[in-house]
Structure 1
Amino acid sequence: MAKRFNENNAIGDVLKQFIQSNNLQKGMDRISVRDAWKNLMGNGVNSYTKEIMLKGTTLYVELTSAVLREELSYGKQKIIQMINEELGREVVKEVVLR
């Protein structure tokens, strides 16, 4: 049976507590990283993005354009920094472009 709290809490705090107590953070990170990639990279890059997958702290991005993959490989550190800033914490430590 779930605990019942008599005090009033903000829904954001309750959701954070729920995610933390049920070990759902990894799944939430996977979704958040996909959304961050789509928001930060724009339509041009997203049209060539086939798959985005987070395993541990490594972000795997499958691209359909070899030219774009080469261009993005020069800015891997910048991509990591932008995604972590978007998420508000360090989730991604490495990017692998395929």
Structure 2
Amino acid sequence: MSASHKPQPIGNVLGALFQDRGYRQKIDESRAVDAWPRVAVAGAVRATESAWMREGVLTVKLRSSAWRHTLHLQREQWRQKINEHLGREVVREIVFR
């Protein structure tokens, strides 16, 4: 019997299926958007109008130019925090608008 016919943990099977079908990226993008209000400070969350992610870039639209400036200066730290929260490198860049 070949190795591919041996029983595999369901997590491995689903992970491979998601990767093969391109679902992993969509799931990761959704998780990154959901992570923003969980890791950001309360004031930044209140100032957030919307957030979305495409091709490794998390874009956060803010209502406040003061928050936009402050967060822009700290964007690398926020990127690292979100990736830590997700447990792997998902966000390669954050843009605050």
Q: TM-score, normalised by structure 1?
A: 0.80
Specify the alignment match of 2:77 in structure 1. 78
How well do the aligned residues superpose, as a CA RMSD in angstroms?
1.8
* Deviation of the 1:56 alpha carbon: 0.8
User: Helix, strand or coil: the match of 2:91?
Assistant: coil
Runs of 4+ in 1 over 6 A off after TM superposition: none
Q: 2:14 and 2:42 mapped to 1: Cα distance?
A: 31
Number of matched pairs: 93
Q: Summarize the Cα distance change of 1:28–1:47 in structure 2 as closer, same or farther, 3 Å threshold.
A: same
Could you say which structure has the higher helix fraction? 2
Query: Unaligned regions of 5+ residues in structure 1, if any?
Result: none
Amino acid at match of 2:7: E
Map 1:1-98 to 2 at 5 A: 7=7, 9=9, 11-98=10-97
* Deviation of the 1:21 alpha carbon: 2.4
Q: 1:46 and 1:13 mapped to 2: Cα distance?
A: 35
* Deviation of the 1:6 alpha carbon: 7.3
Query: Unaligned regions of 5+ residues in structure 2, if any?
Result: none
Q: 1:90 and 1:8 mapped to 2: Cα distance?
A: 25
Q: Is the 8 A contact 2:29 2:56 kept in 1?
A: no
Q: Summarize the Cα distance change of 1:38–1:15 in structure 2 as closer, same or farther, 3 Å threshold.
A: farther
Q: 1:54 and 1:22 mapped to 2: Cα distance?
A: 19
Q: TM-score, normalised by structure 2?
A: 0.81
